[in-house]
Structures are given as structure tokens and as C-alpha cells.
């Protein structure tokens, strides 16, 4: 099993080349845009990269990125926790699902900017507003995925587990929630991205520090290269969390899917 894990990790790292190739295409299009519109509108990728390196040389920038990532992760964590629990409950009880649906539509329907205004009034300009905005933006996604995952579970497995002597708690943890992961994981990946985006937007609008405020400063100075550098940094932070934490976790839990794939389509 250890060798299988090593092989999987090896493949995962090796697939980084494909990711790099994709990013190179993106950089090429970016370069073309730069050559067409000039440095003021769109600085060259190399130029932006140089700004990123310059930013990373300052410990202050690291602190800023960490602050934003921390707030986004806090909001994401809250949404993931509440959303999963509420979603599980709604998945098992159709009546709760029916009651919850309109709230979800409501939450999705209120524009994030309105949330920020409300949350600024409630929490002031700080961590609270930013994390709460991220949480509010993520919650419906996680909730729906969790509820869907439980509602579409294989009920036959439930009966089987009951006949085998598993109690309700063990059935929930080992059978119900295990099947839920199938729909929950893609939603968590999406929610994580949403959390980062919502946090930066909230920081920008609430002047709450972090990457958002740096972006506001860059805008005020019309420093496009700096703005792009901050964007690049926040995207890198997101990718680090997704590929460093979520995807390996998923690979570990979904080993059997790898095994279930027919020969010849492994990679």
C-alpha cells in the first residue's frame, strides 16, 4: 500500500508538467496582449514576475498574504463545518431540505456586495467582516453538495450495514458521510476558491488590510504591475492550499476510484 501511495504521489507531481504547460500557454497569450496594448495597460508576464519576486523579498508582503489566506480559510472552515452538518441533516430529512431550499436561494440571491455592507455594519472593518463574507459566499455551495450527497446515497448499503449490526452513528460516519464525499469534494474545492475571492473583495471594499487593501492602493496609484503581482500571489496561495491540502486528501480517500478505473486510462 505504501508503494501504491508513493506511485500516486509520483504521478501527481509528474502531472505538474502538464499544469506548467497550461500556464505557459496562458503566459504566451498574456505576452501577446502586452505586445498589443503596451506596458501601461498590461505589463509583460516577466515584468509582473519581477514585481512578485520583489514583493516576496519583503517580509511584510508575506504577512499580508498570510493574513488574507488566514481569513479566507477561517471563513471556508466555518462554511465547510456548518454546511456539511446542515447538509447532512437536510439530506436525511426531506422536510428540513424543503425548509432549507428557500434560504439557500435567498443566500445565493443576495449579491456579495450587499453582504459586505451589512457585515461591515455588524462586525466593523476587520477579520470578522472578511471571514463572514467568505463564509456566507461558501455556505450554499457546501450545503447543497452535502445534502445532495446524502440524498443520493445508496440506501441498500444502509440496510446492509444495519443487518451487519452497525449502529446509527457508525452508519452515518462510515456509510452515509463516506458516500457524501463524492459530491462534497468538488464543492469544497469550489468553495475554497470562492472564499479567497470573497475575502479579497471584502478587504478591498472594507479597507480591512490584506491583499485586498494592497490592490486598492495599487489601483489608486495606477500601478497595474503591482496589482497583477498581488493577484498572482493570491492565486498562488489558493493553488497551494488546493493542491497541497485538498487534492492529496481526496486522493487518499478515493483510492478505490483509481483502482476501479479500467486499464489504459490511468493517467
Partner 1 sequence: MTLLQLDKVGHAFLGRTVLERIDLGISAGELVALVGPSGSGKSTLAHIAAGLVEPRMGRVNRRYRRHAVIFQEPRLLPWKRTADNIGLGLAGQRVGGDARRRKLHAVASRVALEYGDLEKFPAQLSGGMRQRAAIARALIAEPDFIFFDEPFSALDVALKRRMQDIVVDTVAHSGLSGLFITHDLSEAVRIAHRILVLDRNGRGIAGSRIVPSRPGERDDRFVFETSVEFLAGDRLFAHVNDCDERSLP
Name the residues that contact partner 1, by CB under 8 A.
156-157, 159-166, 170, 175, 178, 253-256, 259-260
Q: Is 40 helix (H, G, I), strand (E, B) or coil?
A: coil
Residues 6+ apart with CB under 8 A from 141: 79, 83, 187, 190, 191, 194
Nearest-approach distance from CB 157 to partner 1, in angstroms: 6
Cα(39)–Cα(7) distance, integer angstroms: 44
Nearest-approach distance from CB 174 to partner 1, in angstroms: 8
Between 177 and 229, CB nearer to partner 1: 177
Between 8 and 178, CB nearer to partner 1: 178
Cα(198)–Cα(191) distance, integer angstroms: 10
Between 56 and 166, CB nearer to partner 1: 166
Nearest-approach distance from CB 252 to partner 1, in angstroms: 11
Where is 35: in which H helix or E strand?
A: helix 16-37
Between 74 and 175, CB nearer to partner 1: 175
Nearest-approach distance from CB 99 to partner 1, in angstroms: 23
**Taking each helix axis from N to C terminus, what angle separates 59-92 and 210-220, rounded to the nearest 10 degrees?**
130
Between 45 and 176, CB nearer to partner 1: 176
Residues 6+ apart with CB under 8 A from 115: 132, 133, 136, 137
The per-residue DSSP string of 191-227 comes to: HHHHHHHHHHHHHHHHT-SHHHHHHHHHHHTT-HHHH
Nearest-approach distance from CB 3 to partner 1, in angstroms: 13
- Of 128, 141, 113, 140, nearest to 71 (Cα)? 128
209: which 3 cell numbers?
488590510
Where is 165: in which H helix or E strand?
A: none
Nearest-approach distance from CB 254 to partner 1, in angstroms: 7
Between 185 and 230, CB nearer to partner 1: 185
Cα(223)–Cα(2) distance, integer angstroms: 50
Amino acid at each position: 500500500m505504501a508503494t501504491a501511495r508513493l506511485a500516486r504521489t509520483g504521478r501527481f507531481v509528474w502531472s505538474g508538467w502538464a499544469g506548467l504547460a497550461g500556464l505557459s500557454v496562458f503566459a504566451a497569450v498574456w505576452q501577446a496582449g502586452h505586445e498589443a496594448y503596451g506596458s501601461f495597460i498590461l505589463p509583460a508576464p516577466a515584468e509582473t514576475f519581477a514585481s512578485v519576486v520583489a514583493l516576496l523579498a519583503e517580509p511584510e508582503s508575506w504577512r499580508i498574504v498570510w493574513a488574507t489566506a488566514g481569513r479566507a480559510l477561517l471563513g471556508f472552515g466555518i462554511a465547510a463545518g456548518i454546511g456539511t452538518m446542515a447538509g447532512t441533516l437536510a439530506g436525511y430529512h426531506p422536510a428540513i431540505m424543503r425548509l432549507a431550499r428557500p434560504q439557500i436561494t435567498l443566500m445565493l440571491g443576495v449579491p456579495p456586495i450587499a453582504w459586505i455592507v451589512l457585515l461591515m455594519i455588524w462586525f466593523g472593518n476587520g477579520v470578522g467582516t472578511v471571514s463572514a463574507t467568505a463564509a456566507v459566499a461558501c455556505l450554499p455551495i457546501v450545503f447543497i453538495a452535502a445534502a445532495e450527497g446524502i440524498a443520493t446515497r445508496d440506501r441498500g448499503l444502509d440496510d446492509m450495514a444495519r443487518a451487519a449490526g452497525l449502529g446509527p452513528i457508525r452508519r452515518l460516519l462510515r456509510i452515509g458521510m463516506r458516500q457524501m464525499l463524492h459530491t462534497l469534494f468538488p464543492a469544497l474545492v469550489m468553495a475554497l476558491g470562492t472564499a479567497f475571492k470573497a475575502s479579497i473583495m471584502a478587504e478591498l471594499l472594507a479597507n480591512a488590510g490584506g491583499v485586498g487593501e494592497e490592490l486598492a492602493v495599487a489601483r489608486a496609484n495606477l500601478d497595474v504591475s503591482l496589482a497583477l503581482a498581488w493577484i498572482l500571489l493570491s492565486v498562488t496561495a489558493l493553488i497551494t492550499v488546493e493542491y497541497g491540502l485538498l487534492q492529496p486528501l481526496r486522493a487518499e480517500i478515493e483510492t478505490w476510484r483509481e483502482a476501479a478505473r479500467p486499464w489504459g486510462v490511468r493517467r
